[in-house]
């Protein structure tokens, strides 16, 4: 197989060594949960690679757009007719849903939810995706110098895209809500019931509700509930009508609002922190116990 037995031994030994090193690094990275030297190394690599990736993206983006445009010319006429019909249908639907919008506004006021458009955002361009089809991440060209920190929500014109999970000075990594490691606290708009949306690694999300007294109707709008993400951002739409399976537990699938395959520009919500979600709870932490001097320990 190889010229000599000694050669096989050396390469096999190196193989086993490298494999052991790989396992050690992976174990260290997983166990340190992102707060370690590995985060610094990742940030450094991202900073070094960003100019090259942006340059490649700068060259490739127009070419891909041009090719897309050429390939779509034939279908433009049909698409135009379809879009006109869609516009008419949506105008009709808009008139029908004006009453519903008022109700939603009332519900949001009752729940003390701030509309997301009031929040400060930073617009960023996506210049890179994950290195494999298993990766549900995007890299954006804005970083800590633009006020971005880990944990901030990322949205586009359609809805929630993901959250920032790594920041360098001039770029950030966004983990999409389609990633199985990302969970989003949500509420269903028409029933106001809450649940958790989790990524599955593909273009569909999973909704779990543990106290579902009413069914989730097909097409129901699912919004962020304001726990980890700013409240009121559209996450997606229910795939099917579903009632509670066992007791009050309900599991169904959600079509994400954002079109992840067509992401270009996104907005990072920099004007909101999870700490804004429940200021009353924060106050209770600094309240002194009632049996102490009421003048002490209170702000």
Partner 1 sequence: MTSGKTIIALGLVIAAVLIQTTVFQYIRPLGYAPALGMLTVIALARFLDPEQTLFVAFTGGFLQDLLGGSPLGLWASTFTVVAFIALKIRDREIAGTPIVLLGVFGLTLIGQFTYVVLGTLFGQGTINRPGLVGHLLVPALYNVVLAYPIFWLTKITVRPPERTWVS
CA distance 99 to 112: 20
Q: Are 104 and 189 a contacting pair, CB within 8 Å? A: yes
Residue 177 found at the interface with partner 1 (CB under 8 A) = no
Residue 126 found at the interface with partner 1 (CB under 8 A) = yes
Q: Are 234 and 177 a contacting pair, CB within 8 Å? A: no
Q: Which of 40, 61, 82, 86 binds partner 1 (CB under 8 A)?
A: 61
Q: Which of 116, 121, 136, 146 binds partner 1 (CB under 8 A)?
A: 136
Residue 265 found at the interface with partner 1 (CB under 8 A) = no
The beta-carbon contacts of 96-101 under 8 Å, at least 24 apart in sequence, are: 100/190
* Among the residue ranges 19-27, 229-237, 243-251, 277-285, the one whose residues contact partner 1 (CB under 8 A): 19-27
The minimum distance between CB 93 and partner 1, in angstroms, equals 30
Residue 254 bridge partners (DSSP): 205, 238
Compute φ and ψ for 208, nearest 5 degrees: -115, 125
Structure tokens at 168: 């360098």
Q: Which of 84, 101, 106, 135 binds partner 1 (CB under 8 A)?
A: 135
Binding-site size, partner 1 (CB under 8 A)? 57
Residue 298 found at the interface with partner 1 (CB under 8 A) = no
| Cβ neighbours of residue 89 closer than 8 Å, sequence gap 6 or more | none
Residue 137 found at the interface with partner 1 (CB under 8 A) = yes
CA distance 190 to 211: 15
| Cβ neighbours of residue 80 closer than 8 Å, sequence gap 6 or more | none
The minimum distance between CB 281 and partner 1, in angstroms, equals 30
Catalog residues that contact partner 1 under the rule CB under 8 A.
Answer: 1-2, 7, 10-11, 14-15, 18-19, 21-30, 38, 41-42, 45-46, 49, 52-53, 56-57, 60-61, 64, 126-139, 173, 175, 179-181, 200-204, 261
């Amino acid at each position: 197989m190889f010229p000599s037995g000694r050669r096989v031994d050396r390469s096999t030994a190196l193989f086993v060594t490298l494999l052991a090193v790989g396992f050690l690094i992976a174990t260290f990275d997983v166990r340190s949960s992102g707060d370690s030297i590995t985060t610094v190394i990742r940030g450094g690599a991202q900073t070094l690679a960003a100019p090259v990736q942006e340059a490649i993206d700068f060259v490739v983006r127009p070419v891909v757009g041009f090719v897309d445009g050429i390939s779509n010319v034939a279908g433009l006429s049909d698409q135009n007719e379809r879009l006109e019909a869609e516009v008419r249908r949506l105008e009709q639907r808009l008139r029908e849903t004006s009453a519903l919008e008022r109700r939603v506004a009332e519900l949001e006021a009752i729940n003390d939810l701030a509309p997301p458009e009031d929040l400060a955002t930073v617009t960023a361009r996506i210049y890179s995706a994950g290195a494999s089809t298993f990766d549900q991440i995007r890299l954006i060209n804005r970083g800590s110098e633009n006020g971005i920190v880990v944990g901030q929500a990322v949205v586009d014109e359609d809805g929630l895209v993901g959250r920032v999970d790594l920041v360098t000075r001039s770029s950030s990594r966004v983990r999409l809500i389609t990633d199985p490691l990302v969970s989003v606290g949500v509420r269903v708009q028409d029933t106001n019931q809450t649940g958790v949306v989790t990524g599955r690694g593909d273009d569909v999300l999973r909704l779990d509700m543990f106290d579902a007294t009413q069914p989730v109707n097909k097409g129901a709008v699912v919004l962020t509930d304001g726990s980890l993400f700013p409240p009121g951002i559209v996450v997606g739409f229910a795939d099917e009508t579903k009632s509670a399976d066992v007791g009050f537990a309900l599991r169904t699938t959600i079509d994400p609002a954002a079109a992840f395959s067509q992401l270009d520009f996104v907005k990072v919500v920099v004007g909101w922190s999870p700490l804004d979600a429940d200021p009353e709870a924060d106050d209770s932490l600094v309240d002194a116990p009632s049996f102490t001097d009421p003048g002490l320990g209170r702000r």
